[in-house]
Structure 1
């Protein structure tokens, strides 16, 4: 019983319209689901992914207007990687970022991979990482309905970087409960004298199945706001294994949400000891359970158990115009 890798990463935004422009028009990702935060239906929940909305490709955003900015620190998911096919693609993206005025670094090596770090307009820390034919979790499929050449398109999620004050409790949860393996480390690229970053891997391995951890005793605790990462979800293949994972998390004594039906996937949430929120999510049934692949993200999607509230939900939602 192994987790397959990263399922999705959920982030906070204060400006859904501008968020849509950035992730679809500049990054060329596809809006695969326009929904609501099922725990607060006055807020939109936007999902961006690959051409088919495959598991392991989605960045999701909770829209919270007037949200304060994030104050970075530990107990945080500090950065999220997005996969591209090759190192040559990073040169393309570097030029594109210059063209659109996107804050970015130079191309650097992280975990022996070519990477290009950048930020969105709210300060969300993102890293393009080149697959370069590396074995491991398969990538998704780049969205072709964009001006970005398919060979340079984003094909899925890569590793997340966690920063914590004490690495041991987080590493314990990853290895002894979730079944990750410690597979190495690499020097920090953020400055001389900073601690190395440890790499933990699950499933078939590769960048789509990794969590990176850096211990930073010098930093305050993060105060999350716009641009901050709310949680990271890990992939479970099906509902049968989901039931087993729910039992395992309970037996491990981790306080958790219990089983949560999101309709598009089954979920379970818990915090590890440093306070980072983890989610376990099923690959099934997927985002095309209520929309065809061709029409993903075009309408406001509600799970069947919320359909009777549609009129009320739509009345309370603020107007949201996403220009195609």
Structure 2
């Protein structure tokens, strides 16, 4: 009926401090800020998009700034780790040294998932992981920005597997496999609990969801350093409309097609409460800024442009022009 989902599109998380967030993700992790805009559902707060050189789908890690966000009480029914892809195993040694240099809380290089990884936390406790593409044969990564403080050969090339911690595995599996078309790939053990790996499309590092059932944990209470939602890639608006119709046919509550200007979206929650988005690959981030100046000014979709003065007046200034 329609094409398989193509893999991760973006992951959106919560920060309390846009300035420190910008400094960490651009100066420490070396990602490019490809769009500084606002949360279209609440234009009083920033929405920051970090990615490869031009924000190719599958490379975007985004943040909503919520200045009054409290702490996150980690637990189940959550997107518990966001992973970021690098070229190969050797690159992880560079990152281990870089994380230490910037006093970033990090673990040792590990291979529990079948790939070399290094887990770390940002200044708000956001749970992150670098994962090696050494043996990746699936979805291709993006291209690091050549003006990043991190040399291109060590740069982050996109989003890796998304890790879910859920209270009832079967509920999540039902949606992933029976509705979204993911297929079970393999299993491994992490912290004495089994993790089940699912993949879609071409598979590989950029198209996997890893799910661990933890009935021993409380439900997560989100705040700063938590993940808001994960989005999966759809080719175009025609394909997305098919998904809208399909979810309606299945009587799964959803947002319907939502215009986000940089892409079009569809939102719904799976039974464990995790928010999923399906998002089109285009049109992308260069419709209102040219490639050389992505992320340098506050970009607003045309339907918000008349409100620019009011919107800017509510935002704390954030200099991203350098």
Q: 1:120 aligns with which of 108, 112, 122?
A: 122
* Contact kept in structure 1, 2:295 and 2:320, CA below 8 Å: no
Question: CA separation in 2, counterparts of 1:176 and 1:100?
Answer: 44
Question: CA separation in 2, counterparts of 1:147 and 1:88?
Answer: 19
How far 1:284 sits from its partner (Å)? 1.1
Question: CA separation in 2, counterparts of 1:133 and 1:151?
Answer: 17
* Contact kept in structure 2, 1:166 and 1:274, CA below 8 Å: yes
Aligned to 1:83: 85
* Contact kept in structure 1, 2:297 and 2:321, CA below 8 Å: no
Q: How many residues align?
A: 320
Aligned to 2:243: 245
Quick check: 1:298 aligned with 2:300? no
Question: CA separation in 1, counterparts of 2:32 and 2:179?
Answer: 34
Quick check: 1:96 aligned with 2:94? no
4+ residue runs over 6 A deviation: none
Aligned to 2:74: 72
Question: CA separation in 1, counterparts of 2:247 and 2:68?
Answer: 36
How far 1:133 sits from its partner (Å)? 4.4
* Contact kept in structure 2, 1:17 and 1:322, CA below 8 Å: no
* Contact kept in structure 1, 2:233 and 2:279, CA below 8 Å: yes
How far 1:146 sits from its partner (Å)? 2.2
| 1:250 partner SS | helix
Question: CA separation in 2, counterparts of 1:261 and 1:128?
Answer: 32
* Contact kept in structure 2, 1:29 and 1:48, CA below 8 Å: yes
Q: Normalising by the residue count of structure 2, what TM-score does the alignment of the two structures yield?
A: 0.98
Q: 1:210 aligns with which of 208, 211, 216?
A: 208
Counterpart mapping for 1:152-171 below 5 A = 152-171=154-173
Question: CA separation in 2, counterparts of 1:297 and 1:322?
Answer: 7
Aligned to 1:147: 149
CA RMSD, 1 decimal? 1.0
- Residue ranges of structure 2 left out of the alignment (5+ in a row): none
Cα distance, 1:299–1:222 mapped onto 2, change above 3 Å: same
What per-residue deviation string (whole Å, max 9, x for no partner) do you get for residues 225-282 of structure 1?
0000000000001111011111111112211111100000000110000000000000
Counterpart mapping for 1:25-40 below 5 A = 25-40=27-42
How far 1:30 sits from its partner (Å)? 0.1
What per-residue deviation string (whole Å, max 9, x for no partner) do you get for residues 58-90 of structure 1?
100000113101000011000011000010000
Question: CA separation in 1, counterparts of 2:104 and 2:316?
Answer: 28
Counterpart mapping for 1:158-307 below 5 A = 158-188=160-190, 191=191, 194-307=192-305
Report which stretch shifted further, 25-34 or 252-261.
Answer: 252-261
